[in-house]
Amino acid sequence: MTYRRSSILFVIALLVAAACSQPPPSGSSQTPQTTGGAASTLVWYADTSDLISLDPAVAYEFTGVLLTHNAYETLVKFEGADLATIKPALAQSWDIKDSTSQWDITFKLRSGAKFASGNAITADDVVYSFQRVLKLNKSPAFLFTDIAQIKESSIKASDPSTVVISLPKTASPQGFLAVLTFTIGSVVDSKDVKAKETGGDSGSGYLLDHSSGSGAFVIDHWTKNSEVQLKANPNYTGSPKPALGGVLVKHVPESTNQQFALEKGDADIARNLGAQQITALQGKQGVVTTTGNSLQLVYVGMNVTVKPLDNVNVREALRTAIDYDGIVKDLFKGGAKKVQGIVPAGLAGYNESTPFQADVNKAKSLLQQAGQTAITLELLVPTGPAPGGVAWADLAAKLQSDWKNIGVTVNIKQTTQADLLGTYRAQKGQLVMILWGPDFPDPDANVGPFTDYAAKSIAFRNGWDDKTIAAKGRDAALITDAAKRSAAYKEITDYVLHNGPYVVLYQPTEPFGLRSNVKGFVWSPMDWTDFAAISK
C-alpha cells in the first residue's frame, strides 16, 4: 500500500506525458533529415546563446551573423581576412557617380546567379531585400538609416540586372560599400519570402529559422538552445564551391567542455577557448590551435564630467601608469595586440603609435602638475570573460594594482554587461572598462563614435564634447582620396591618443582550437568565416 504512492507518481507522470504528447508534426523542421554522416559535416562548438534570429535583416549578434553570412550572398564582399579591398560578389561591377545633390551607385548583377530554390536572382530581389530591412527597422537597420542615410525610395531596379542606390551627399559611398559587405546587405529570394509573409512581418517569422538565399549553405534546422545545422547548397552559383556536406553548430557554453570535446574528436572546431585552454592544448595529438584577428578594442572610458578626470594631465597620467606589455605577455600569453589608438589594426587609418608603457615617475609628475595626488575612482567592470579569454576581473585587478603604484585608488565594481551598458549610456560611470567593435569595416565606424559627442555613442558616454575633433572626424569620413584620408585619420588618432578620455588596452586576437585534419579555416576580422573554404 505504501509503495503505491511512488509508483502512482510515476504512472501518472507517464500518462500525463503521453496525454500531453502531440502526434509528430508532418514534414516540419522538428524532424531533421540525416546529417550526411560524420565525414563531411564540420562540427563547430560555440556559445550560441546570443542567437536570436537567422533573418539577415534582424541578425546582429555574432552567432546570427556567422550563420547568415554563410547562407546568403551580398552585392560586394571581402575575401577571407583581407579588409582592404572590396570584391564583387552578386554584383559583378559597380559605379559611383557624383550627381551633385547625391551619390548614385549603380550595381550590375552577376549573370546566371541563382537562389538555392532555383529562382534566378534579379534586381527586384535586391530591392525587396533592402526595403524590408528598412521596414523591419531592427538592430542592424541603423547601418542603412543612419550611416548610409537611405530610404526605401533610394533603392531602385532600373532593369532586371541593374540596381541603383542613391545616397545623400552627407553619406560616404565607400562606407556604404563596406556596409553592404555585412549580412544586412544579404539578398533574399523575394518570390519565396513574399509567399511566406504573415501578418505583415515581411517574412521575418519564416526567416527566423529558415534561409532563403543563395549562399554556399542553407539552414537545415535550428533546434533552439541546442544546435543549428547547415547543409551544402547544391544550386550554389558562386565560388568556391563548398567541400563540406554540412556544418553543425552546437551550443556548448562551457569552454572546458569545448576543450574536452575537441581533444576527444567530438568537435572539429572550438570557438570559445580561453588562453588557458589554448595552452593546455599545445602538443596534444590531433589538435592544433590558430588565431584570427578581430577588429575589437578593449578600453577604459574616463568620464570627463567627473573630477579630476576633466584634467587632461590626470588622464594622461592614468594612461602612462599601465603595464601594457605585461597585460599582453602575461595575461594573454601573446594572444592580444598592443594597440593604443582608437582605430584597430586591419583598417585603413590604423595608427601604430604606442607611446604608453608603465612609467611610474612620469605618471606621478603628471599628477603633481595637475595638483592631484590622492585620487579615488570607481572602475565599472563586466562579469565573465573579456575578449581574448581572460576574465574581466583579472584584467581589472591588474589595472587596479598598476594605478595603485602611482597613488590612485581604484575600487572595482562588477556588474553584468547589461547593467554596465545601462549606466554607461546614462553617462553615470567614472571609469568604465568595456570593449568596442566597429559595425562596418571602415575607420569612421570607430572614429565617429569615439570623437563625435553628437553621435550619442562613446564620446557622449564619457562626456567628451570636443567640437573641433568631432568636425575633423566627420570631414575625414567623406574624403575619397585614400592618401588624404589616411593623413587626416593620423592627425585625429594622434590627437585622441593624448587628449581623449580613453585608455585603449589591447586589440584581442581570437583563439581557435581545431582538429588537425581541418583545412582552409580562415577567421575574418568581421567576426565570421567562410565555411565554403573549409575541408576536413
Partner 1 sequence: MRFLGFLLRRIVGIAAVMIGVSVITFAISHIIPADPVAAALGDHATDAQIAQFRAEYHLDRPLPEQYFIYATGILHGDLGKSIRTRRSVADDLADSFPATLELSFAALLISIVLGVPAGVWSAVSRGRLPDYVVRVLSLAGGSLPVFWLGLIVIGLFYYQLGWFPGGGRLDTFVPPPPTRTGLYVLDSIFAGNLEALRSSLVHLVLPAITLGYFSTALVARMTRSSMLDVLGQDYMRTARAKGLREPVIVLRHALRNALIPTITIIGLTFGSLLSGAVLTETIFSWPGLGRYATASAVSLDFPAVLGVTLLAAVVYPVANLVVDVAYYWLDPRIQHG
Partner 2 sequence: MGKRTPILREPLNVVALALITAFAVCAVLAPLLAPYDPLAQTLSSRLEPPSATHWLGTDSLGRDIASRILYGARISLIVGVVVVALAGVFGTFVGLIAGYAGGLADEALMRFTEVFLAFPPLILAMAIAGALGPSLTNAIIAIAAVTWAVYARLARGQLLSLRRREYVEAARSIGASPGRILGRHLLPNAIAPLLVQASFDMGAAIIAAAGLSFIGFGAQPPTPEWGVMISEGRNFISTQPWLSLFPGLAILFAVGAFNVLGDGLRDVFDPRLRRAG
By C-alpha distance, which of 42, 73, 34 is closest to 56? 73
Residues 54-93 that bind partner 1 (CB under 8 A): 60-61
For residues 227 and 251, the answer to whether their CB atoms sit within 8 Å is yes
* Dist. CA 340–CA 337, nearest whole Å: 10
Q: Helix (H, G, I), strand (E, B), or coil: what is residue 96?
A: strand
Helix (H) or strand (E) holding 394: helix 392-404
Contact region with partner 1 (CB under 8 A), list: 26-34, 65-73, 190-198, 294-302: 26-34
User: Where are the extended beta strands (E) located within 114-226?
Assistant: 155-159, 162-168, 217-223
Residues 348-407 that bind partner 2 (CB under 8 A): 383-384, 391, 393-394, 397-398, 401
Q: Decide: is 201 part of the binding site for partner 1 (CB under 8 A).
A: no
Residues 289-328 that bind partner 2 (CB under 8 A): 326
Residue 15 interacts, among partner 1, partner 2, none and using kind-specific CB cut-offs from 5 to 8 Å, with: none
Q: Decide: is 255 part of the binding site for partner 2 (CB under 8 A).
A: yes
Q: Name, in order, each residue with C-beta under 8 angstroms of 211's C-beta and a sequence gap of 6 or more.
A: 54, 68, 71, 72, 116, 217, 218, 219
Residue (150 or 321) nearer to partner 1, CB: 150
> Of the candidates 226, 416, 480, 517, which one interacts with partner 2 according to CB under 8 A?
416
Residues 114-173 that bind partner 1 (CB under 8 A): 137-139, 141-142, 145-146
Contact region with partner 2 (CB under 8 A), list: 142-150, 256-264, 303-311, 338-346: 256-264
Residue 310 interacts, among partner 1, partner 2, none and using kind-specific CB cut-offs from 5 to 8 Å, with: none
Contact region with partner 1 (CB under 8 A), list: 69-77, 223-231, 286-294, 390-398: 223-231
Kindly report the three-state secondary structure assignment for every residue of 466-495.
Answer: CHHHHHHHHHHHHCCCHHHHHHHHHHHHHH
Shortest CB 474 distance to partner 1, Å? 18
DSSP conformation class of 48: -
For residues 439 and 175, the answer to whether their CB atoms sit within 8 Å is no
Residue 110 interacts, among partner 2, partner 1, none and using kind-specific CB cut-offs from 5 to 8 Å, with: none
What character string, x for contact with partner 1 (CB under 8 A) and - otherwise, covers 316-355? ----------------------------------------
Residue (393 or 533) nearer to partner 2, CB: 393
Q: Decide: is 280 part of the binding site for partner 2 (CB under 8 A).
A: yes
Q: Helix (H, G, I), strand (E, B), or coil: what is residue 246?
A: strand
For residues 289 and 281, the answer to whether their CB atoms sit within 8 Å is yes
By C-alpha distance, which of 81, 7, 11 is closest to 528? 81
- Count interface residues toward partner 2 (CB under 8 A): 24
Q: State the Rg of the chain over Cα.
A: 25
> Of the candidates 210, 231, 250, 485, which one interacts with partner 1 according to CB under 8 A?
250
Q: Which three cell numbers stand for residue 116?
A: 538555392
Helix (H) or strand (E) holding 250: strand 246-251
> Of the candidates 254, 325, 352, 475, which one interacts with partner 2 according to CB under 8 A?
254
User: In terms of residues, how long is the chain?
Assistant: 536
Contact region with partner 1 (CB under 8 A), list: 21-29, 156-164, 368-376, 392-400: 21-29
Helix (H) or strand (E) holding 497: helix 482-499
Site for partner 2, rule CB under 8 A? 254-256, 259-260, 274, 276-277, 280, 326, 330-331, 383-384, 391, 393-394, 397-398, 401, 414-416, 419
